[in-house]
A and B are shown apart, each in its own frame.
Chain A
Amino acid sequence: MSADSDMRAAVGQIPPGIDFPPVELVSAPPLEDATVAIVTTAALAFPGEPWEDQTHEYRLFDRAAQGLIMAHNSTNLDRSGFALDRNVAFPIDRLREMEAEGKIGEVAPRHASFIGSTFELSTFLLDTGPRLAATLRGDGVDVALLTPV
């Protein structure tokens, strides 16, 4: 088994700890008309701004932000890929290319990062997730692309 398959097996057995309510899926606009935001759990940060362990909070980054680091505190994921190319976890340049090509309507003005190693999930569902949604909707976002690391 690879290191990642061992990790998937270990994490895949952890119960979520909450009963999720039914979710009704939104009818999305055509992608070429949509405003798209990235929501990643890569713990993006500017240098000198580490993440608190087990936090449920998120940070917003301008679409033109440069110099971001992946400040995730987990040791159990590859680091070299993001170091070489942020798009491997935060595909902002790919989305901007799609925007320029007319394949998506707009790239959102701001994008969000969480840190994905937080065990407790209900706060994401009931607090920070809805708060982020309100912020993104205020930015005109109607589609979110979520990326884990």
Chain B
Amino acid sequence: MCTRTVSTLARALEASGIATVSLLANRSAAELIGPPRGLYCEFPLGRPLGKPLDAEFQRSVLAAAFALLPRTDGPLIEDFDIVIEDEVDAPLSCPIPPRLDPQEPAAIGEARGLRAAHDRGVARIGTSQVGRVVDADGIPDAIRAFVEVVEGAAWNEVKYVGGDPTTLLMDIRAYYEEAALGLSEHVPAARATESWYYRKTSTGELIRRYLAAVKDVDPPFPGTFYVVPASQTSEVLF
């Protein structure tokens, strides 16, 4: 979706006198719109510069993009010559610490048990991505609303921290992916931590069951496609 927006904005900026170069993540979507100067980079979605913590590679992408700047024969799309694919089917392999309280729901206990790993992950990356509506301290208890729905409560009758379940889900996912970064030492391939979360953890399983519980219900759940990535479900996206 972002390539549609980028391509449209590039046209608006160019028409207002600002020269643009756009990195593009979806060639077909860009071709339908025609950005003034586009560089199609077939990299994992979410990584438009290709490789995190690889300044040399990022500089090579920028050099290719800025090389288009003198051209005025657009709309044009050139292709970056290196392709990088995600590794959705290779979940990160990392151990999950034991739950601290076996009486708690598995997902909540797991989240508490991962706190030290999460903090190591944040120390490694410098800035936590948790924080849209809840901080790391609040994550374990925030999971309880999703447990209640899976156990039979209506999705709109439980209290979500911050009010919106899908925004809260992004914080929970960020917490887990940062824990994964604290449990490993290398730079993971794209979607490796995502697949670990959704396929290997109790909370990931809980959220998949939550999706099943909020599908086709009355009142309808707003935006089931914001619950679990299309890569982790057989749901039809559009």
Closest-CB distance, A36 to chain B (whole angstroms)? 9
Chain B: residues with Cβ within 8 Å of the partner, total of 98
Interface string of A117-128 (1 = CB under 8 A from B): 111010011101
The distance in angstroms between the C-alpha atoms of A9 and B25, with both chains bound, is 12
Could you tell me if B132 and A14 are in contact, using CB atoms closer than 8 angstroms? Answer: no
Could you tell me if A88 and B1 are in contact, using CB atoms closer than 8 angstroms? Answer: no
| Chain A residues in 8 Å Cβ range of B49 | 87-89, 91, 94, 147
The stretch of B104-112, B139-147, B149-157, B222-230 that contacts the partner chain: B222-230
Known contacts A78-B190, A137-B17; is A85 also within 8 Å of B52 by CB? yes
Could you tell me if B72 and A27 are in contact, using CB atoms closer than 8 angstroms? Answer: yes
Closest-CB distance, B26 to chain A (whole angstroms)? 5
Known contacts A7-B45, A88-B50, A142-B19; is A129 also within 8 Å of B1 by CB? no
A60 on the interface (CB 8 Å rule)? Answer: no
Could you tell me if B19 and A78 are in contact, using CB atoms closer than 8 angstroms? Answer: no
Could you tell me if B25 and A146 are in contact, using CB atoms closer than 8 angstroms? Answer: no
| Chain A residues in 8 Å Cβ range of B230 | 3, 6-7, 10, 75-76
Interface size class of A (residues with CB under 8 A): 35 or more
Interface string of A93-108 (1 = CB under 8 A from B): 1110110000010000
Closest-CB distance, A104 to chain B (whole angstroms)? 8
| Chain B residues in 8 Å Cβ range of A31 | 66, 69
Interface residues of chain A, those whose CB is within 8 Å of chain B, are 2-16, 20-21, 23-29, 31, 34, 39, 41-42, 45, 47-50, 53, 66-71, 73-89, 91, 93-95, 97-98, 104, 114, 116-119, 121, 124-126, 128-130, 132-134, 136-137, 141-149
Q: Name 10 extra pairs, CB < 8 A, besides A70-B129, A81-B44.
A: A3-B191, A4-B44, A4-B86, A25-B36, A39-B9, A50-B133, A77-B45, A80-B181, A117-B1, A149-B2
B103 on the interface (CB 8 Å rule)? Answer: no
Give A66's nearest chain B residue, CB to CB. B127
| Chain A residues in 8 Å Cβ range of B27 | 8, 12
B115 on the interface (CB 8 Å rule)? Answer: no
The distance in angstroms between the C-alpha atoms of A94 and B26, with both chains bound, is 23
In the complex, chain B residues 1-37 whose Cβ is within 8 Å of any chain A Cβ: 1-6, 8-29, 32-37
With beta carbons under 8 angstroms apart, the residue of A8, A28, A84, A134 that contacts B69 is A28
